[in-house]
Amino acid sequence: MSGVLSLVASLGAIVLGFVRAAGSLALFALAAVSHLFRPPFYWRNFLSAFVEFAYFSLPVVALTALFSGGVIALQSYTGFARYNAQSAIAGIVVLSVVRELGPVLAGLIVAGRVGSAMAAEIGTMRVTDQIDALGTLSTNPMKYLVTPRLLAGTLALPLLVVVADILGVLGGFIVSVVKLGFSPNAYIANTFSVMQPIDVNVGLVKAAVFGFLIALMGCYNGYHSRGGAQGVGSATTASVVAASILVLAFDYMLTEMFFSR
């Protein structure tokens, strides 16, 4: 009996902790977003975060997308599309890249690269009193640190995903033409006949949501880190883990929302 009770109690504690964390995260996000509508806006911080997101992640995202597109072409050829390959493979590549792989891969890569760096930077600022110092210098730390980064993430990820989409399709194209010997013109025609505007749009919406979430997790964990270098380290890890899980979870939810009719 007491075993059951303590089980229920610890379960309750877990649920409560989860609700509390989610609530505090939601409040944090709300506060940061509300600063978007109250001047000043820190353009410099926005631009440097944007560059961090878009530019420095570009090579990794591009390479990943290129290879993924190629792999999909190869896999679907050897796997199941051998008999109708010409027309099917182009469609499989473009849909999987534009709807799923582009946003998800870009999201996971950026979470690991940029989200973690963000958590480390803001976390270091927290444990060395720099965030407190901002407050004594007529500057709201949320507005200065968090809001520009959230906006940068939300705007930069779609840009990255456009590049990932193009290179993913290119990867599939190269494999299909060079290795499988398809006609280049037919491949391109097939690609465009299968791809609908909604595929691209949903991919970009996903990207924007992922970008927001990644920046949010980086900022939130950094902002609330405590206890020196170790605290910053665990904040960094937490931000990557949380952002990755959120990217995958929201990917499912958004897919469900837009495509499951």
Partner 1 sequence: MSGAVTPPQGTPKLRIRGLRKAFGSKQVLDGIDLDVASGTSMVVIGGSGSGKSVLLRCILGLIEPDAGSIEVDGVDVLRLRRREREAVNRRIGMLFQNGALFDSLTVWENVAFGLMARRQINRRDAREKAGDVLRQVGLDPSVGLLSPSELSGGMQKRVGLARAIAAQPEILFFDEPTTGLDPIMGAVIDGLIVECVRTLGSTAIAITHDMASATRIGDAAAMLYRGRLVWQGPAASLLESGNPLVDQFTHGRREGPISMELRR
Q: Residues in contact with partner 1, total (CB under 8 A)?
A: 15
Cβ closest to partner 1, residue 142 vs residue 194: 142
Question: Phi-psi region for residue 129, left (φ > 0), alpha (ψ -120 to 50) or beta?
Answer: left
* CA 247/CA 216 separation, integer angstroms: 12
Q: Is 227 in the site for partner 1 (CB under 8 A)?
A: no
Tokens describing residue 99: 């709807």
Q: Indicate if the alpha-carbon torsion angle 47, 53, 57, 62 is positive or negative.
A: negative
Q: Residue 233 is encoded by which pair of tokens? A: 């380290």
CB nearer to partner 1: give 134 or 188.
134
State in angstroms the smallest separation of the CB of 20 from partner 1: 18
| Cβ 128 to partner 1 shortest distance, Å | 6
Residues of this chain, 127-146, that bind partner 1 according to CB under 8 A: 128-130, 132-133, 135-140
- Does 24 engage in binding with partner 1 (CB under 8 A)? no
Q: What's the CA gap between 205 and 60, in Å, rounded?
A: 21
**Cα first-last separation, the chain:** 47
Q: Which stretch binds partner 1 (CB under 8 A): 1-9, 93-101, 121-129, 173-181?
A: 121-129
Task: Using the minimum distance from each CB to partner 1, give the nearer residue, 130 or 255.
Answer: 130
Listed in sequence order, the residues at least 6 apart from 157 whose beta carbon sits closer than 8 Å to its beta carbon are 53, 103, 106, 107, 110, 207, 208, 210, 211, 214
Rounded Cα gap, residues 165 and 184, in angstroms: 18
Minimum Å gap between C-beta 130 and partner 1 is 5
Contact between 23 and partner 1 per CB under 8 A: no
The residue among 13 and 132 lying less far from partner 1, judged by its C-beta, is: 132
Smallest separation, CB 129 to partner 1 (Å):
4
| CB 121 to partner 1: min, Å | 7
Residue 31 lies near partner 1 (rule: CB under 8 A): no
What is d(CA 129, CA 119) in angstroms, rounded to the nearest whole number?
A: 15
Element (H, E) at 136: helix 130-136
Residue 26 vs 132, nearer CB to partner 1: 132
Which of 132, 196 has the CB closer to partner 1?
A: 132
Q: Which spans of this chain sit near partner 1 (rule: CB under 8 A)? A: 40, 121, 124-125, 128-130, 132-133, 135-140
